[in-house]
Amino acid sequence: MLSPIQVRRHWIRKISFESKDERVKEAVYQTQISLSHAERDGHWYVSLKVVLRGNDSSETNYSGQIEFEGVFDVHPDFPKEKVDDLVRMNGGAILYGAAREYILGLTARSKHGPFEMPTIDARMFLKAPEPPKQPESETQAE
């Protein structure tokens, strides 16, 4: 059985990433995540921005940001009142998974080795959308 939401296409819109010269053994990362979405011409456009950096008192091995965008279709029989939640939660989860995989592959070829971004609970995307300058935060120790 197929999901009522299907990915038409997704791509990297922007990437900025850097590796520090010296390895930080106890790096603490802050991952900021923001999501936006809109319907146009019968398709849903979702944009995800992930910023990776140290917290206020910690240096990190890697820092940067990645933005993914995607176009999604929702089955016409899916309840209209639930479409927005479906798009935010599943669109966000799909794009975040793509960003995680991309960062893992990128850092696998980097000086300090592979970095796994934290897994998330996709229900976080069901919260009321926040302005881009006020994203969600999570921390992870490497």
CATH for 67: 3.10.420.10
Range(s) of the domain holding residue 135: 5-141
Q: How many domains does the chain have?
A: 1
How many other CB atoms are found less than 10 A from the CB of residue 87?
Answer: 21
The DSSP letter of residue 127 is S
Rounded-to-integer distance, Cα 22 and Cα 11, Å:
32
Closest CA to 89 of 126, 116, 131: 126
pLDDT beyond 70 at 29: yes
Helices assigned H by DSSP within the chain = 83-86, 92-108
Q: pTM of the prediction?
A: 0.84
Tens-digit pLDDT profile for residues 71-121: 999 999 999 999 999 999 999 999 999 999 999 999 999 888 998 999 999
